[in-house]
Amino acid sequence: MATTQPTTQPAAAAHAERPAALRSTVLAALLAALVILTLLGHNRLTDWDEGIYAQISREMLSSGLLIPHWNLQPWLEKPPLMLWITAVFFKLFGVSEFTARLGSALSGVALVGLLHGWLARRHSLRAAWFSSLILLSTFGFLHVARVGEMDTLLSLGLCISLIGLAELHLDHRHGAWLFWLGFALALMTKGAASITLGFTFVLFLALEPTILRRHLGTLSLGFALFLAVVLPWHIALYHRFGEAFVQQYIGLHILHRATSQIEGHITPWWYYLRVLLLSAIPFCLLYPIAALDALRRPALRLYRVFALFALIEVLFFSLVKTRLPHYIAPAYPAFSVLTAVWICTRLETITLTKPLRLRLSAAVCAIWIIAALITAAPRSRLHSPRLPNGDVTPNNREQVALLKQVFKHPAPAVAAVPGPLLDWRPGHYNPIPTVIFYANRPVQQVLPQPLPPGTPTDIYAFNPVPFAAAIGSQPSLILVARSLLPQLPAGYTFHLIASSPTLAVGTIARN
């Protein structure tokens, strides 16, 4: 009786190809490391997420790993796994831009190697290399892999789970353990962002109902392990903070983002079509064709779960009201697998001479280069950090250079000044995440007078207190816009330590 289940190589043949698959995987991982790690720490950290996560990881070295802190205050917005990893790298190799991004970068290398090794065993070395090259030429993937954020580790966990479900389709029991292990990794990295995996799992079981019957016991044991991994930290934080933890962890980052366009991220429902065209060109043009092929062709049922996940990821976050480019980053690895398999399937039906293969490869490279150049400027704007009002965050180059000058190797007179660094700059939006990181001390924004009642505030960009509440008779360090110094109220004295064209660092005290 015929079966629609995908075939794999016989056990002996598969075993014979293991050395070749292993060598190929090592080469792919080395290529990924070269692409992702090169000049990783060259640029300064960006404001918002990258600066926030780096500072939380640094504060873990002194405050402990259980409760994340930012600016010396408990920070309850995300799970801690990526923060723990970065804290370990800070402990081992020192605090720097490179180590702040290393966990994300190594997750990207591991992700390329994981998909390459799996495709080499389950399909072919050709498909494995196509997948690796497509993923490493996807700008959206490279962006998240080279910044100190959580999306690449999240993607790694989700891909481990997808491979687990594909292995269950082949009746391999270890697939259940891989699924729950990857799910736990994803949830402990970015919490609710892993919800699309849950939707994929339910739909996958609906389409493959016999899998649940055949592997119910292993799936149940895996679920118990999943709970043992994810529950302790969540229970500990709820026990410590109660309703405040629920409001920040679930209310802000699940319900509020899902139902409202917050922090100035006002985008149309088709926003991710633009993201894909700018961040995954030209291969994104093949994404819908490759996904549909995996869904409808019985011979490709092994890859159906990747198509389900990729489509759910894009559709779900299109329905969510707050949309950011990196929200669909976990779809890129799945699409790379589908596109690689689709290309290999088509190549199997035609014969290409060596000269024709070379010309075709050159044409693809030329198309990629042209597409990259055409989309470079809008892609840069797309991935620029944004203020809560929707404007792109101002360039922090001058600010970071000044803070490094003063605080990287602080003079004894600077190190002896206690308390936070005060921050007095014009306007209502002056992000402080990188100010905290590069000053290596807490930051308090200040204004000469109290804010009028009802003025919106934001802990990351505009949360000032009046001079009278922050400045005493003992000197405090202050970062100030030089244009504001003539407006310094009578009764306060400022002494300059260092300056740049528009900023100054000094001490301020009440007379």
What pLDDT digit, counting tens, does each position of 112-136 carry? 999 999 999 999 999 999 999 999 9
Q: Are residues 369 and 483 in the same domain?
A: no
In this model, does residue 476 exceed pLDDT 80?
yes
Q: Are residues 175 and 274 in the same domain?
A: yes
Structural domains in the chain (count): 2
pLDDT of amino acid 51:
96
Q: Is residue 145 part of a domain?
A: yes
Q: What is the mean pLDDT of residues 311-331?
A: 94
What percent of the chain is predicted at pLDDT more than 70?
Answer: 92
- Which has the closest alpha carbon to 191: 139, 147, 255? 255
pLDDT of amino acid 265:
62
Q: Are residues 326 and 411 in the same domain?
A: no
Q: Are residues 187 and 85 in the same domain?
A: yes
Q: Is residue 443 part of a domain?
A: yes
d(CA 322, CA 337): 28
Q: What is the mean pLDDT of residues 21-39?
A: 98
pLDDT of amino acid 257:
67
Domain housing 302:
20-352+361-382
For residue 510, count CB atoms less than 10 angstroms from its CB and return exposed for 0-12, middle for 13-18, buried for 19 or more. Answer: middle
In this model, does residue 347 exceed pLDDT 80?
yes
pLDDT of amino acid 392:
60
Determine which of 10-19, 47-56, 267-276, 319-328 has the lowest per-residue pLDDT on average: 10-19
Give Cα separations from 257 to 158, 196, 319, 329, 497 (angstroms). Answer: 21, 15, 11, 17, 42
Confidence of residue 388 (pLDDT cuts 50, 70, 90): very low
Q: Do residues 114 and 156 make contact, with C-beta atoms less than 8 angstroms apart?
A: yes
Q: What would the 3-class secondary structure string for 418-485 be?
A: CCCEEEECCCCCCCCHHHHHHHCCCEEEEECCCCCCCCCCECCCECCEEHHHHCCCCCEEEEEEHHHH
Q: Is residue 10 part of a domain?
A: no
d(CA 89, CA 417): 29
Q: Are residues 242 and 136 in the same domain?
A: yes
Q: Are residues 437 and 493 in the same domain?
A: yes
pLDDT digits (tens, 9 = 90+) for 84-111: 999 999 999 999 999 999 999 999 999 9
What residues does 70 pair with on adjacent strands? 73
Q: Are residues 185 and 230 in the same domain?
A: yes
- Which has the closest alpha carbon to 473: 435, 419, 411? 419
Show the tokens assigned to 346: 């088509």
Coil, helix or strand at residue 147: coil
Q: Is residue 6 part of a domain?
A: no
Mean pLDDT of all residues belonging to the chain: 93
Q: Is residue 172 part of a domain?
A: yes
Q: Which residue has the tokens 């950290």?
A: 45
Strands 476-481 and 73-74: unpaired
Q: Are residues 172 and 207 in the same domain?
A: yes
Q: What is the mean pLDDT of residues 449-456?
A: 94
pLDDT of amino acid 14:
44
Using the Cα atoms of residue 249, residue 80, residue 220 and residue 212 in order, give the sign of their dihedral: positive
d(CA 353, CA 366): 20
pLDDT digits (tens, 9 = 90+) for 210-227: 999 999 999 999 999 999
Q: Is residue 391 part of a domain?
A: no
Q: Is residue 111 part of a domain?
A: yes
Q: Which residue has the tokens 């016991």?
A: 217
10 Å Cβ neighbour count for 371?
Answer: 20
Q: What is the mean pLDDT of residues 375-399?
A: 77
What values do phi and psi take at 476, rounded to 5?
-125, 145
In this model, does residue 240 exceed pLDDT 90?
yes
In this model, does residue 294 exceed pLDDT 60?
yes
The helix (H) or strand (E) run that includes residue 493 is strand 492-499
Q: Are residues 91 and 125 in the same domain?
A: yes
Q: What is the mean pLDDT of residues 426-455?
A: 95
What percent of the chain is predicted at pLDDT more than 90?
Answer: 85
Q: Is residue 283 part of a domain?
A: yes
Q: Are residues 143 and 104 in the same domain?
A: yes
In this model, does residue 260 exceed pLDDT 80?
no
Determine which of 250-254, 431-435, 458-462 has the lowest per-residue pLDDT on average: 250-254
Q: Are residues 471 and 365 in the same domain?
A: no
Q: Are residues 118 and 239 in the same domain?
A: yes
Determine which of 3-7, 239-243, 272-276 has the lowest per-residue pLDDT on average: 3-7
What residues does 392 pair with on adjacent strands? 386
Q: Structure pTM?
A: 0.94
Q: Do residues 187 and 230 make contact, with C-beta atoms less than 8 angstroms apart?
A: yes
pLDDT of amino acid 18:
84
Q: What is the mean pLDDT of residues 395-417?
A: 95
In this model, does residue 256 exceed pLDDT 90?
no
